[in-house]
Amino acid sequence: MFRGKNYKESAKLVDRATLYDPVDAFELVIKAAKAKFDETVELHLKLGVDSRHADQQVRGAVVLPHGTGKTPRVLVFCKEERVQEALDAGADFAGGQELVDRIMKENFFDYDVVAATPDMMSIVGRLGKVLGPKGLMPTPKAGTVTPNIKQAIEEIKAGKIEYRLDKTNIIHCPIGKVSFGKEKLTENYQTLLDAVNKAKPAAAKGQYIRSCVTASTMGPGVKINALKQA
């Protein structure tokens, strides 16, 4: 794989064999971020579970204390009488069958999170094959299927993120921007890690968190000692 000059310079700052304490890891990530834009900082957690088994799924949502640095665009499926409530709470789009039609016919995906009231799931369910692969399907586990749509929208806008395993048993999540500084990034990291630890399935055996790596958008990965409290 071709690596640019900036990446190679940044990689020299990181000892790939070292497990860094969380605050030191984020200090390194910030130092290694050389792009001309405010890079997103991501966390990658490899878990000792098998996502092919229903009793070893790890999925949920958590509100990061400092948000992600990005205000997500929210689409809400609700009855007509609740559309204005959703828009007043901060939803970017709200509606019912007309939004389903727009998604199906126009490939409308100009949003980051989808929420729905429970009474709309019968029509939203038809979008499973379209929204599911994009990670946009609303679910009670993530708090995006709820009668309390106002609270759901406010939490999403405030920095609520969903975490879930991919097919290789890794969770990938944004936890902020380089401009946050190491203290805020560390606090966001610890909040996410605590949530993932609480979500540990009873069926999980052996070491639960196999590896924990953070990196900025264009920077090298930095390994974190996930057993060390921030």
Q: How far apart are the first and last CA of the chain?
A: 33
Contacts of 187 (CB under 8 A, 6+ apart): 65, 66, 230
**Chain centre to alpha carbon of residue 179:** 18
Could you report the per-residue pLDDT of 156-174, keeping only the tens digit for each? 999 999 899 998 999 999 9
Longest dimension (CA), the chain: 58
pLDDT per residue as tens digits for the range 73-91: 999 999 999 999 999 999 9
Q: Are 116 and 76 in contact (CB under 8 A)?
A: yes
Tokens of 110: 């100009």
Tokens 């057993």 label which residue?
Answer: 227
pLDDT at site 3: 60
Cβ(46)–Cβ(206) below 8 Å:
no
Predicted TM-score of the model (pTM): 0.82
pLDDT for res 10: 60
Residue the block writes with tokens 């991501």: 42
Q: Could you tell me what percent of the chain has a pLDDT over 70?
A: 93
Q: Is 66 helix (H, G, I), strand (E, B) or coil?
A: coil
Examine the pLDDT at 4 and tell me if it is beyond 70: no
pLDDT of 184 above 70: yes
Q: Tell me: the pLDDT tens digits for 35-86?
A: 899 999 999 999 999 988 989 999 899 999 999 998 999 999 999 999 999 9
